[in-house]
Structure 1
Amino acid sequence: MFPKKIAVLISFLLISAVSNSQTQNLNKTFLYQGRIDKLQNDQVILIGTASSVSFNFTGNECSISLQSVEDHHNYVQLVLDGKYIGKIRIEKGAVQSFPIKVASNQKEHRLEIYKNTEAQSGNVLFAGTTAKLTSISFKKKKKIEFIGDSITCGAASDPSDVPCDKGEYMDHHNGYYAYGPTLSREIGVDYLMSCVSGIGMYRNWNDEHKDEAIMPDVYPNLYMTKDTSKPKYDFVFQPDIISIALGTNDFSGGDGKKERLPFNAEKYVSNYIDFVKMLYKHNPKVQIVITNSPMVGGERGVVFEDCLNKVKKAFANDKAHKPIQIFKFKPMKPNGCTGHPDVADHKVLAEEYGPFLKKLLNEK
């Protein structure tokens, strides 16, 4: 579940002026969501899965300027007037212009641009639009943050444009239809995606935390890397619920070639507890939900659930925060690429998990 190393940001990128990670209404013409880095002149770096920029405009057409800020291509997904209209492939190189044509007779239109891929697949620059902009506002909603690995990211879920045995890792992502964004739209909440393919709580898919960073290492950084030259995550997005789905890679046997130690339950639980404490420090009122994995079953699944129960028990006497909740996904035979859930599978996961989260939100 771990992609090859992705190139870092190209050095000629505009220097970041303000970093941000939540919905903004300070700018009346653009609405930003997710892990993003706001630059000068209304330009923005889309970093995390399903991070987005939206705007309202008049007229029947406009163009948007995008750049894959990497040495490879990348993708965004578009929603026009509430309707998903597909993906755009952004080739590597200079800023490119993409035409947007409107078919409806509405006087005003809304375009939403979502980053299709995860942070580790590189970043996308939104460099502006020719649209005749009108003001934009947002309705205050409850918020959920989804922390996880490739499953949460929607990685390897969509071979509709490029078959599973062709192309590169980012060609098969579909962040918009990952279970988190899908269920969030269904229950009417805002969401933040903090996920990295192949990552774990104490070790990764094919690394014993020797050469690669684990989630507790990268989470506090806006770009979800260990690059100290990049901004820190600001924790301004204060979710009502944080969903943590980490363990699939900790339990993984790796590629079968590189040395893999037996699963260390004590280390997994210890790291998990410390991670939750860090989240509480920045989000004191949050409800935390920890989940198992639909990909981990049998004896490993039993050990997994035991570990989650130990994490929950560690906070049993914590009166300062809401009691930790555990959600158990049903076992799933995935239909996506390289053993991952596909878009249809993510819909199933969203239908399982959505009602549980909605009930928790209604109890707040």
Structure 2
Amino acid sequence: MFIKKIAILILFLMISAFSVSQNKSNTFLYAGRVEKLENNKVMLIGTASSVSFNFTGNQCDIFLQSVDSYAHHNYVSLVLDGKYIGKIRIEKGEVQSFPIKSTAAKKVHNLQIYKDTEAHTGGVLFAGTTAKLTSISSKKKKKIEFIGDSITCGAASDPSEVPCDKGEYYDHHNGYYAYGPTLSRAIGADYLTSSVSGIGMYRNWNDENKDEAIMPQVYENLYLTKDASKPKYDFAFQPNIISIALGTNDFSGGDGKKERLPFNSEKYVSNYINFIKMLYTHNPKAQIVITNSPMVNGERAIVFEDCLNKVKAAFSSDKSHKEIQIFKFKPMTPKGCLGHPDVEDQKVMADQYAPFLKKLLNEK
């Protein structure tokens, strides 16, 4: 026990020393829903939120911690010198050290750390690095925000680490390869993901908005919860396009055990309209795109499309904002865990959606 405490103390001192020594404004880039903390520490919150830096030398350590109201593991994906090198699991407990080594013959290396899990899986604390940092800057790009549910989270898409029938729900998340981040990289856009598994516009997968919050109730909170102790989202991102993909859970029949009311199109449309009005107050110049779901089929898909048309029509006389656009994903039979799209399916969605969004961005 004494040796373990000494080891933890040494690790803490190392993190503190490196965090202080690297307290420079141009050594880290942050993206997505993150909370910046003291000494260049940052909490990665939302799906595919990230921290990146440049460094010299061929190796370094990074310090990460899974942080939540209860102890559990978490995941990030790493991209080194532009190459995806896989997911790493951050075990529950204290801050942990992870070695990074590059074999590329480069003077300056780049490491990008992406949160694979969603906001409701708790945060991943980036607590520092031993890297010899050099300056880093970002190119100005067009911006897209993706608002959605588990599909947008990349949830249940990746059984490469843990088989679908094993482990926890979040063991199968891969936010890096969700359709939003994937298509954004393909068309050269910056992105932000605001998504929660099971969430809807007026009700959730297995809840009639009695015990669980819906997206309009949590969106303005940085952590996508109703927890008033958490900071508000600052809306500094200011996307050129806001993509909204909510409805899969509103149309869902739930688990078949809990009471489920018939789908209420009036509530769905009304909540959607009010949600867009709220988005406009924070992002007045944004182009809104609303989408269907590849997982809603048959008669429900027809009703879904009718609802989206009504939402668009409600803004037909609005001359203060760009005309709302509708995008329709093709139906699919998903191959991921729990009936979700897997990484390959997410790529199919990205390939469908990318040309549409690229065209819109080029019109700006």
Task: Tell me which interval the TM-score lies in, with the shorter structure as reference length.
Answer: over 0.9
Is 1:61 aligned to residue 59 of structure 2?
yes
Aligned amino acid, residue 362 of structure 1 = N
Give the equivalent residue in structure 2 for 1:28: 26
CA distance in 2, matches of 1:150, 1:221: 18
Give the equivalent residue in structure 1 for 2:48: 50
Count residues with an aligned counterpart.
339
TM-score normalised per structure 1: 0.93
| Higher share in helix | 2
Superimposed CA distance per residue, residues 104-131 of structure 1 (whole angstroms, 9 cap, x where no aligned partner): 1100000000001000111100000000
Give the equivalent residue in structure 2 for 1:259: 259
Give the equivalent residue in structure 2 for 1:21: none
Superimposed CA distance per residue, residues 71-112 of structure 1 (whole angstroms, 9 cap, x where no aligned partner): 100001000000000011000000000000111110000000
Give the equivalent residue in structure 2 for 1:248: 248
Give the equivalent residue in structure 2 for 1:210: 210
Give the equivalent residue in structure 1 for 2:226: 226
Identity of aligned residues (%): 81
Aligned-pair CA distance for 1:160:
0.9
CA distance in 2, matches of 1:149, 1:293: 10
Give the equivalent residue in structure 1 for 2:3: none
Aligned-pair CA distance for 1:279:
0.4
CA distance in 1, matches of 2:260, 2:342: 27
**TM alignment of 1:131-142, pairs within 5 A:** 131-142=131-142
CA distance in 2, matches of 1:172, 1:122: 15
**TM alignment of 1:299-314, pairs within 5 A:** 299-314=299-314
CA distance in 2, matches of 1:324, 1:98: 45
CA distance in 1, matches of 2:232, 2:161: 35
RMSD: 0.6
Aligned amino acid, residue 186 of structure 2 = E
**TM alignment of 1:1-364, pairs within 5 A:** 27-70=25-68, 71-364=71-364
CA distance in 2, matches of 1:102, 1:309: 51
The secondary structure found in structure 2 opposite 1:351 is helix
Q: Based on CA coordinates, which of the two structures has the bigger radius of gyration?
A: 2
Aligned amino acid, residue 243 of structure 2 = S
Superimposed CA distance per residue, residues 153-173 of structure 1 (whole angstroms, 9 cap, x where no aligned partner): 000000011000000011000
Aligned amino acid, residue 46 of structure 1 = L
Give the equivalent residue in structure 2 for 1:4: none
TM-score normalised per structure 2: 0.93
Q: Which runs of 5+ in 1 are unaligned?
A: 1-25
Structure 1 residue ranges, 4+ long, deviating more than 4 angstroms after superposition: none
Superimposed CA distance per residue, residues 24-60 of structure 1 (whole angstroms, 9 cap, x where no aligned partner): xx92000000000000000000000000000000001
Aligned-pair CA distance for 1:210:
0.2
Q: Which runs of 5+ in 2 are unaligned?
A: 1-23
Superimposed CA distance per residue, residues 254-276 of structure 1 (whole angstroms, 9 cap, x where no aligned partner): 00000000000000000000000
Aligned-pair CA distance for 1:338:
0.3
CA distance in 2, matches of 1:231, 1:281: 19
